[in-house]
Amino acid sequence: MAFAACIGLWVGDAQPVFAEERLSIEEGRTLAVVLVRSGQPTAARVAAKALLTRDPDDVVALLVLARAARDLGFYDEAASAARRAFRLAPEGSRDRFGASLAMAQALASDGKRGRAQFWLRRAAQEAPDKGARAVALRDLNYVRARNPLSVKLQFNVFPSSNVNGGPTTNVLVVGGLEFVNPDAVPLSGAGVTLGFDATLRLAGTEANQVFAGVSVESTSYQLSDRARALVPTARAEDYATAQAVLLVGWAGRRDWGRMSARLSFGRDWRGGDPLADWTRLSLSAERGFGDLGVGDLSLALTDRDRKDLSIRSSEELSLGAGWTWTLGSGDRLRLGLDLGKVWSDAASVARHSTALNLSWRRAKPVLGMQVSAFGSLEVTDYERPLELLGTEHDVTAELGVTAVLSDYDVLGFAPEVGFVLSRTESNISALTTEAAELRLGIHSLY
């Protein structure tokens, strides 16, 4: 079977001269591909449409049309052709991968970078080999860097042995006398965290930019049957927390490293009621030192206005420093030191603290999983004694491990499983707590 192809030939500034040539279908496809690859989108579009007149389901012709129409600025036509090619091509095929790329290119050229990023994730999912996947990820990073809007979603589920932060003992000793609070016990259950974060680049480039952002996060709990039996009056909604934040910031990149500044305005809720309004100024810097590693510094000043009891309002200072090593195996190891100081009229709030943090991330997958682990040790001393109880001194230890099941990703999103143990040892026995949590969530691989 053959079809007639009309091919325009240009010579200098003369008008095109059209000639008709009888070609087989395969020759017509080859011609269309050669035309679009050689930078002749008008002729390629004509050839692709001629093929589609004969067979509207010709995937090669649809792919050529998508690219040619995009090169000519006909973005809706390009997207329509790419979408149809994607639906017709077999899963995991090079044509389906090509259709995903063509769709992303049409959307990106039309300024729809957010949707383009989704289709590039599809391209990575449909990539027939590692080379094709690398192309999709390269294009994804390119489009993401030029998209002024960045959106992140969060979803986590975490069964816990202690959703309420209850003490390990409900016996309080005051002046040699024992007091028992039957409701002050750890309550097991499960929490669900949902979050949304959007950042908009207002001006500048990747090396020097001003941005604004908004984030919302909410955590709700469900008590276990055992917890409800222990404390029948306990309500899961009393432990629910939420936070909303507005921010403006600046980020810069220099030859020596990166730095940023942010001014954030937030509100916290607990149990459905406003807990605090706060304002925070954050500064950070990071610098690489070749094979020696990467150093980072941070500073944050926070003014917190409590809505439950005004006496608990505070001013806070946080200082942080860290060093990250890349080991010979490619594993990354970070050691951090954090210092904190809180000024408040409330004895239960005013304190100073020192924390040591260690984290490790393995470079090579283990049984198809990306593995990381962390540990921390924090010492907290309160400034003034609590009435009848003395001055509180706490030591908090936390240890956790996380595994991302990267072999089971969908569009670059993979299941994440973690396990965390924590314990706060206090000189006031009724303030000693411990918890074990299983953390389940979704992790973006790229």
Per-residue model confidence as pLDDT tens digits over 45-102: 999 999 999 999 999 999 999 999 999 999 999 999 999 999 999 988 999 999 999 9
Residues 6+ apart with CB under 8 A from 219: 191, 192, 193, 194, 240, 241, 242
Closest alpha carbon to 162 in 154, 173, 170: 170
- Confidence (pLDDT) at 172: 65
Cα(64)–Cα(95) distance, rounded to whole angstroms? 11
- The upper half-sphere exposure of residue 271, i.e. CA atoms within 13 Å in the direction of its Cβ, equals 8
Closest alpha carbon to 140 in 109, 108, 92: 108
- Confidence (pLDDT) at 142: 93
| DSSP letter assigned to residue 167 | B
Q: What percent of the chain has pLDDT over 90?
A: 80
pTM of the complete model: 0.83
Contacts within 8 Å (CB) and 24+ apart, 418-424 = 422/396, 422/397, 422/398, 423/396, 423/397, 423/398, 424/394, 424/395, 424/396
Tokens, residue 164: 């309420």
Q: Does the pLDDT at position 218 exceed 90?
A: yes
pLDDT grade for 278, boundaries at 50, 70 and 90: very high
pLDDT per residue over 123-140, tens digit each?
999 999 999 999 999 999
Asked if 431 contacts 407 with a C-beta cutoff of 8 angstroms, the reply is no
- Cβ neighbours, 10 Å, residue 195: 15
Tokens, residue 392: 């509180």
pLDDT grade for 24, boundaries at 50, 70 and 90: confident
35, with CB counted inside 10 A (0-12, 13-18, 19+), is buried
Place of tokens 């408040």: 344
φ and ψ at residue 315, rounded to 5 degrees: -120, 135
pLDDT per residue over 62-74, tens digit each?
999 999 999 999 9
- Confidence (pLDDT) at 13: 35
Q: Does the pLDDT at position 18 exceed 80?
A: no
Asked if 80 contacts 110 with a C-beta cutoff of 8 angstroms, the reply is no
Q: Give how far the C-alpha of residue 316 lies from the chain's centroid of Cα atoms, to the nearest Å.
A: 27
Place of tokens 């007091």: 179
- Confidence (pLDDT) at 27: 82
Tokens, residue 176: 């040699």
- Cβ neighbours, 10 Å, residue 328: 5
pLDDT grade for 1, boundaries at 50, 70 and 90: very low
Residues 6+ apart with CB under 8 A from 384: 347, 350, 391
Closest alpha carbon to 372 in 420, 319, 413: 420
- Cβ neighbours, 10 Å, residue 302: 17
- Confidence (pLDDT) at 5: 46
Run of H or E residues at 316: strand 314-326
pLDDT grade for 430, boundaries at 50, 70 and 90: confident
Place of tokens 């930078």: 39
